[in-house]
C-alpha cells in the first residue's frame, strides 16, 4: 500500500496529449487531464489553450463565467 502512495505523489507525471500525441510533463509544462464524457483524455498546454479559445469563440463575453 505504501508503494502505491509513492507512485501517486511522484513528480513529473508524463502524459500523452490526446490531440497532438506529444508527451508532456503536467507539473513542469501545464496542461490538463481528466474525463471527456466517459473518455479519459489529456491535453498539452498548447492544445488545451486552443481548445479553450475555440470554445470561448462560441459564446458572447457576458455569457462566460468570470475567472477570479
Q: How far is the CB of 46 from Zn ion (least distance, A)?
A: 5
Among the listed ranges 9-17, 33-41, 53-61, the one in contact with Zn ion (CB under 5 A) is 9-17
Q: How far is the CB of 23 from Zn ion (least distance, A)?
A: 10
Is residue 33 a contact partner of residue 41, using CB atoms and an 8 Å limit? yes
Which grid cell is 36? 471527456
The nearer residue to Zn ion, 20 or 52, going by C-beta atoms, is 20
Instruction: Look up cell 473518455; give the residue.
Output: 39
Which grid cell is 3? 508503494
Binding to Zn ion, residues 14-53 (CB under 5 A): 17, 19-20, 44, 47
Judged by DSSP in three states, 50 sits in helix
Amino acid at each position: 500500500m505504501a508503494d502505491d502512495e509513492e507512485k501517486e505523489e511522484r513528480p513529473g507525471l508524463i502524459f500523452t496529449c490526446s490531440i497532438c500525441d506529444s508527451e508532456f510533463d503536467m507539473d513542469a509544462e501545464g496542461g490538463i487531464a481528466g474525463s471527456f464524457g466517459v473518455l479519459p483524455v489529456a491535453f498539452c498546454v498548447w492544445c488545451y489553450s486552443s481548445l479553450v479559445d475555440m470554445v470561448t469563440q462560441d459564446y458572447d463575453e457576458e455569457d462566460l463565467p468570470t475567472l477570479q
